[in-house]
Structure 1
Amino acid sequence: MGEAATASQEAEQDDQRRLAAAAEASQEAEQDDEQGRLAAALDAINSLISASFSASLFPLKWQLIRDRFNRLHAGLADITVDIAGEAHEDDDDDEAFSSLLRGVAESVREARDELVPRSQGRHYGGGKLRLRSDLDVMASTLDAYVSRLDEVCASGALTRARALVVPRPRAGTGAGRDDVRFYVRDLFARLRVGGAEMQRDAAAALNELLRDDEIKPVVRVVVSDSVVVADGIGVLIGLLESPDARVQEEALDAVSVILGFNDAYKGDFVLGGVIAPAIRVLDAGGAGAPAKERAARLLGKLTENSDNAWAVAAHGGVTALVNACSDHRTSACELVCAACRVLRSLVAVDEIRKYAVGEARAVPVLVSLLQQGAAAADEAAQIQAMELLAAIATAGDGSSREAVVQEGALESLVRVLDPGVQRSSKAREAALRAIDALCLSNSTDAVFLRRVLFFLRNGDVALQHRALKTAHRLCQASEEGKKAMGDAGFMPELVGIVQAAKSLETREMAAEALCALVSVHRNRRRFVQDDRNVAQILQLLALGPDEEKTSPAKRFLLSTLMHVTDSSSGRRKIMSSEHVRNLEKLAETNVSDAKKIVKKLGGSKLRNIFHGIWSL
């Protein structure tokens, strides 16, 4: 009996093994069949998306349908079916996924065989209203499929695949436009449906591709493809709302790079709604400095030449930008610089400038920024603040300029010019430009004049030229200002610049400023007292081999001599100079101003007497 029982047990175990093997084979066949249906669904979706571009009626609705199919494709392509796993014993989940695949396949067939032909304009199949209704129904059906796919995945019946990664096309490997387009669309699909980690990786890969100089020409062509643009704009704008800071940063970078490809994309992104989320990133308390900086740079690209200024202002952008500058103690220098550049574009619009100066209180924020230390890390932000103050001061009816002066901006700008404080030439140039923009009529401040004169003598080429422009503007101001400049010692320095400068523009500017100063009686008396001044001007009247006898600089020098001849001592200095012959030569060639000066010197008889003396 024992042997019989043992044989019975062995037979029973053999039956169990055969049943288990059969069940396992059935499960494998079922899983293979499920994977086959999944692959067929993916191929059908691809085919339908390609065919849908031939639909000419209701293009926006077809774009929505393509977007839904793309989301389904991305979600299904990222799935591995795992029916045999112990954790997935619920037949209802398996049936839900199978039902989902059948539904997707049916929708693909309906769209490809019925809706696309009806949308090609040949026949409406019930009319346009019926076609539009059918397209709306299709879009709603696909939305339901997307939701069901998320529910099935959440149930555990399916697992997300991690193995399929499309390799990035590279120059030198024969990668063509189709390869790049496929790769870009795959990245957008991952950005659309992926989790935070997948989105970070896909956004970083997209930026890497966009910045690849070797393959950039192909990327530009692909990005300009209407399909890619329409697909990608909404995806990238949506990522600006991501709670993940890295995703936000990568998305902001990608939008900025694409905008750099072609200005025409500005309108596409603005219509897509990029401005509002970019401002929210900039104004969000929890956003990091890198994301805020990228948001400000993006707004800078969108508002170049004051484009889209009203759209930024309407979404609270002015206040957000001023707040970024007001937090300069904690904000990164790059963020403050980017915010100031955007504000410079915005204040070109009168109403926005008035709001920035009045309600947003931008001027005291900028003045406070100037009063910080002169550390190299802060100086770039201070330069941008000075240029923004100059832009505010030069625009409008003068009320903005008065607001800038009343807030103490001038005093802060003059402190930047202090030679005893370590500052770069660029910072001092920016300060002089901002002071020039204030167009002060009262230029008698001795400290300011001394500092302008210092850089006129000691600055590098760029700073010296900037100081000369400031001196030139000051010479066109009040009589008191001209007297103060004469007392400060500007006239000999201007003569030296006319003599030494190689640039025609520089010589002309210095000569004009000198003429303006000498027109004042007190300055003229001081000028004549130094014999070298008159002699140098006469020497500068000499004609070079290729020089025009009536160049602008020479005309101003002759006008200066005309002022000098108003006094007897000035006339004596001219006649006693060894270079007076240069003046005579100009008079002999019928230069009218030279002839007038010679006439004031005493006429031809006196000239002949001196000529006889000089010839001995």
Structure 2
Amino acid sequence: MSLSSITFFSHPLFPTLLPSLLSTLVSLRSISIRCTDSSNSGGKLLLQSDLDIASSSLDLHLHDLQLLLPLLFKPTGSRGESDLDEANAIVLSHPTPSSSKEDVSLFVRDLFARLVIGDAELKKKALDSLLRLLLECGSIAANLFVEEVDINCLIHLLDSNNQSSAIRELAVASIAALASTSEVSRKVIFEEGVLGPLLRLLDSGSTVSREHSADAIATITSDPNNAWAVAAYGGIAVLIDACRSSTGGSTETRKKASSSLRNVVVASVGGDTKEAMVEEGAIPVLLEMLGDSDTTIQKNSAHCLWILASSGESFRVLILKQGALSKILQLFHSCDNPELMEHVLRPLHVLSSSISAAKTLSGSLVFLSRLADLIGQHHCQHLAASLLFNLSISDDAKRLMAGCMGALVKMMMELPKPAGSHVIAARVLVSLLSIRSNRKELSKDAKSMTRLVQMLNPKSNDGLSKNLPVSVVLALAEDRGGCRKRIVAAGACQHLQKLVELDVSGAKRALQRISGGRFKNLFSSITWRE
């Protein structure tokens, strides 16, 4: 194959590559003349150094040519690989979702060559094409890109010292797209060390670069196997700083940075990462984020506070000392988003294990009334009931919360997830039934009484411990007269008798109590039915 059979200048990279190649060849010719000079006036060490430099330059040019030559033509198949002419010079069109894998692969290699060899304008056009390719062809293009090319060529473009701002912004946008498009490409770019450059851009890049880098970091750290590396790169302080409203970052940047912070704290197994977060000033920033106007930032903040507070008493003390309880309560009272409320209840539940926090929460009738309302909401009922169970509630508060008793009975019966919700519901209900007015109110609720009797039936509610509804019956039967009569009228006696025979704890005492102590007379006067 002769060089004349290929149209070299048909590819836009040659005008970039050829001048530097000619310069290297001229330099080599000059050095070769010096090698034949017996006097060698410049010295052997200088000559050897010049040879090494020229040789390295030539190697780079050969590498670039190897990238480029396969893109200049394609074999016809019938004429043989060496029989090529200008008619076979490739003009690449942008692939579509219906393009073959071979066409996408060839286009990817062309993009790679432009990123490695091209000038600033060609690099920008290549990055624009890459973004469009990832958007239109998805994971196929992303997987081919990381398989076919050296991904470091793209990571290198994030270096602020060597590239223009426009190129860095396009490069980091491409990295973010690769991270979100395919698990394979996300794994490859992480393993090639992209987190370090991304964190540097998040710390000191332009507004656009910071936004894209925050997006890429959030996606990469969504895999717990990757999130640990943020601390290794010294990135915790960078993420915390990016979450501050005072740093001037966009809402999108702060949203993604807060998601990354959540990913890091969730993935941290030991206490070192959490301690590092506290030392870097995470708690005040997290409390500030609770008051943000963006719901995602608020959720991420509450989630981080929950994980930190769950990590030990020392963390809870630090969080409470910085005024966390009042900040969380402010969001609790203003929140009308069920999903956000679920996130707010988690740190409140954990912090309620502290004596001081529990005392504050138990003494607020406004808080307890709102908490009782939440027991009727599916998203929040388990957390709300669990939080109530942790508190010492006054009689006045119990009277105020009577309206949630029906929801607690239903919660017992439905055996909702997570496991143990029915136990919490029963115990909270028994606590509320220590007030006489509450006992009367629940016994008058026909639907709740029907549900309670159904739970007593040994043949129903598999998986429900029968001592739970029995404990509720015992609490209701504290009142003589109306409450006991309503329990009997609802049909509880026949089921309690069966539970007595099954030796269920409390069943005999409950049966004696609702029968007014006339156990034998009751059995002789009632015909038991199955």
1:334 aligns with 2:257: no
2:449–2:490 contact (8 Å) kept in structure 1:
yes
Displacement, 1:532? Answer: 2.9
**Equivalent residue for 1:254?**
174
- Distance in 2, matches of 1:329 and 1:300, equals 19
Displacement, 1:340? Answer: 1.3
Partner-residue secondary structure (3-state), 2:434 = helix
1:340–1:388 contact (8 Å) kept in structure 2:
no
2:454–2:460 contact (8 Å) kept in structure 1:
yes
- Distance in 1, matches of 2:461 and 2:107, equals 68
Partner-residue secondary structure (3-state), 1:316 = coil
Displacement, 1:472? Answer: 2.0
The letter of the residue matching 2:342 is: E
**Equivalent residue for 1:532?**
443
Partner-residue secondary structure (3-state), 2:218 = helix
1:524–1:564 contact (8 Å) kept in structure 2:
no
Partner-residue secondary structure (3-state), 1:341 = helix
String of CA shifts for 1:318-377, please: whole Å, max 9, x gaps: 11111111135732222112111211222224211101112x1011012122235xx4xx
The letter of the residue matching 2:300 is: Q
1:454 aligns with 2:376: no
1:483–1:522 contact (8 Å) kept in structure 2:
no
The letter of the residue matching 1:193 is: I
Which is worse superposed, 240-249 or 260-269? 260-269
- Distance in 1, matches of 2:325 and 2:521, equals 53
String of CA shifts for 1:61-117, please: whole Å, max 9, x gaps: xxxxxxxxxxxx985365689xxxxxxxxxxx99758758999xxxxxxxxxxxxxx
- Distance in 2, matches of 1:41 and 1:102, equals 23
2:374–2:384 contact (8 Å) kept in structure 1:
no
2:143–2:184 contact (8 Å) kept in structure 1:
no
Displacement, 1:528? Answer: 2.8
Displacement, 1:543? Answer: 3.8
- Distance in 1, matches of 2:225 and 2:406, equals 45
Pair member with larger Rg: 1
**Equivalent residue for 1:179?**
103
- Distance in 2, matches of 1:555 and 1:328, equals 56
Aligned counterparts, 1:513-532, within 5 A: 513-517=424-428, 519-520=430-431, 523-530=434-441, 532=443
1:556 aligns with 2:478: no
The letter of the residue matching 1:434 is: P
- Going from structure 1 to structure 2, the CA distance change for 1:506 and 1:557 (only over 3 Å counts) comes to farther
String of CA shifts for 1:522-543, please: whole Å, max 9, x gaps: 8244433436358665422444
- Going from structure 1 to structure 2, the CA distance change for 1:78 and 1:224 (only over 3 Å counts) comes to same
Which of 203, 206, 215 does residue 288 from structure 1 map onto?
206
TM-score by length of 2: 0.74
**Equivalent residue for 2:133?**
209
Which of 478, 485, 489 does residue 579 from structure 1 map onto?
489
Which of 344, 366, 370 does residue 290 from structure 2 map onto?
370
- Going from structure 1 to structure 2, the CA distance change for 1:603 and 1:301 (only over 3 Å counts) comes to same
Q: What percentage of aligned pairs have identical amino acids?
A: 22
String of CA shifts for 1:555-577, please: whole Å, max 9, x gaps: 42221112344x3x257622454
1:195 aligns with 2:195: no
Which of 471, 491, 511 does residue 384 from structure 2 map onto?
471
2:222–2:263 contact (8 Å) kept in structure 1:
yes
2:180–2:186 contact (8 Å) kept in structure 1:
no
Which of 81, 92, 109 does residue 166 from structure 1 map onto?
92
- Going from structure 1 to structure 2, the CA distance change for 1:317 and 1:506 (only over 3 Å counts) comes to closer
The letter of the residue matching 2:434 is: N
String of CA shifts for 1:370-411, please: whole Å, max 9, x gaps: 235xx4xx33322222222222222x3332222222211221
String of CA shifts for 1:153-183, please: whole Å, max 9, x gaps: xxxxxxxxxx9963212244xx422221111
1:483–1:523 contact (8 Å) kept in structure 2:
no
Partner-residue secondary structure (3-state), 1:307 = helix
- Distance in 1, matches of 2:207 and 2:399, equals 47
TM-score by length of 1: 0.64
> What number of residue pairs does the alignment pair up?
467
Displacement, 1:586? Answer: 4.4
Structure 2 alignment gaps of length 5 or more: 31-51, 65-88
- Distance in 2, matches of 1:558 and 1:334, equals 53
**Equivalent residue for 1:235?**
153
